[in-house]
Amino acid sequence: MLGNYFYHEIIRKTVIAFGTLFNDIHVRHDDGVGNVISEIKVPVAYGPRQKFLARIQQQPELNKATQITLPRMSFEITNISYDATRKAGITQTFKAADTDDGGKLKKVFMPVPYNLGFELNILVKLQDDGLQILEQILPFFQPGFTLSIDLVKSIGEKRDVPMILNNISQQDDYEGDFSTRRALIYTLSFTAKTFMFGHIAKSPEGLIRKVQLDYYTDTNTQTAKRVQRYTVVPKAKKDYNEDNVIDTKDEPFIEPGDDFGFTETSTFFGDAKDFAPNRGVDI
């Protein structure tokens, strides 16, 4: 029923935009007297992945000496929900040039507002690492940071997508027996206020073949009489049907983009008829 295939990769693009916010965060260590002894750029990745791919990529050698390398950040989509507060009129449209269709002007319906819930997890070995990472993130979110994302490339539709930081939670299992390792995980939950675009319809190609306008003596067409009809039709400027004469028989062959003129006709009436658009005659 819904029909047309389309895929703007909007959710994927929102994931990419979210990921790029956190791909340049560093952690430094010093030797206690002020000398920096290491600087690490914290790896970040989208958490969900194919299991076999993770195994063969991250553990090609089956024997691995260490458990994991830290610190690391991972994020994933946790929920997708409709945002009624940003709802636009369902019949509201805007115009945009479609680069996938020769730059033709398209009528695009307003996108549907959706919120994507993201969870950014930070796993650190040291509390100090976690604090360094957090402090590099938090000042940018008050509570949101807005990214301008090109959601539908073909129509160049850039939308401001606020990434709202909702909540920060910390897991620190430092209590208990020594058989379990202390796990230090910071979890930041975000909401990305993105938009879903529907199918961008191909515009029907065609030429307006006739424009007809009737003038009345008054605005009340029930009582007023018509007095004049103004008609405009395209006028051919070359011999389309190759009959060695340029006349009205060439007019049906005029294509959009051709060089053509117009034939304007004014007709005056003394009758009391009206034009019936469904039947195409005066009654």
Partner 1 sequence: MALNPYFLQGSRGEQRLVQSLINEHLKIYGQEVTYIPRKFVNQSTIIEEVTASKFDDNFAVEMYVNSYDGYSGAGDVLTKFGMSLRDEVELTVSKERFEEFIAPFMDASDDIDLASRPREGDLVFFPLGQRLFEIKFVEHEDPFYQLGSTYVYKLKCELFEYEDEVIDTSLDIIDTQVQDEGYIATLQLVGVGRTAQATPILGSGYIREIFLNNDGSGFTGTPTVAISTSPSGLPLDNATAVAITTTRANVTSIEKILLTNAGAQYTSPPIITISGGGGTGAAATCSINTASNGVIRFVMTDNGIGFGTAPVVTVSAPAAGIASDRAIGIASIGDAGNGFNRVNSIFVQNAGIGYTSALPTVTITNPETISGVGTYQFNEIVQGMRSGTQARVKKWDADTGILSISNVGIGTTTTGFFKGEDVKGLTSGALFSVSIYDKDDSTDKYNEGDIFETEADAIVDFTESNPFGTF
Q: Taking CB under 8 A as the rule, does residue 37 contact partner 1?
A: yes
The owner of tokens 């990434």 is 163
User: What's the min distance (Å) between Cβ of 157 and partner 1?
Assistant: 11
CA distance 197 to 147: 17
CA distance 25 to 73: 10
Site map for partner 1, 108-147, x if CB under 8 A?
-------------x-x-xxxxx-x--------x------x
User: What's the min distance (Å) between Cβ of 47 and partner 1?
Assistant: 4
User: What's the min distance (Å) between Cβ of 74 and partner 1?
Assistant: 5
Q: Taking CB under 8 A as the rule, does residue 59 contact partner 1?
A: yes
Measuring CA to CA, which residue among 280, 282, 234, 223 is closest to residue 257?
234
- Element at 253 (helix H, strand E): none
Q: Taking CB under 8 A as the rule, does residue 68 contact partner 1?
A: yes
User: What's the min distance (Å) between Cβ of 48 and partner 1?
Assistant: 8
Burial (CB < 10 A; 0-12, 13-18, 19+), residue 149, is buried
Give how many residues touch partner 1 by CB under 8 A: 68
DSSP 160-197: EEEEEEEEEEEEE--SS-TTS---EEEEEEEEEEEEE-
Q: Which of 1, 4, 7, 67 binds partner 1 (CB under 8 A)?
A: 67
Q: Taking CB under 8 A as the rule, does residue 22 contact partner 1?
A: yes
Angle made by CA atoms 51, 57, 62, in degrees to the nearest 5: 90
Which residue lies nearer to partner 1 by CB, 30 or 255? 30
- Element at 243 (helix H, strand E): none
- Site of interaction with partner 1 (CB under 8 A): 13, 16-17, 19-25, 28-32, 34-41, 43-49, 51, 54-55, 57-59, 63-72, 74, 76, 121, 123, 125-129, 131, 140, 147-151, 153, 158, 177-179, 181
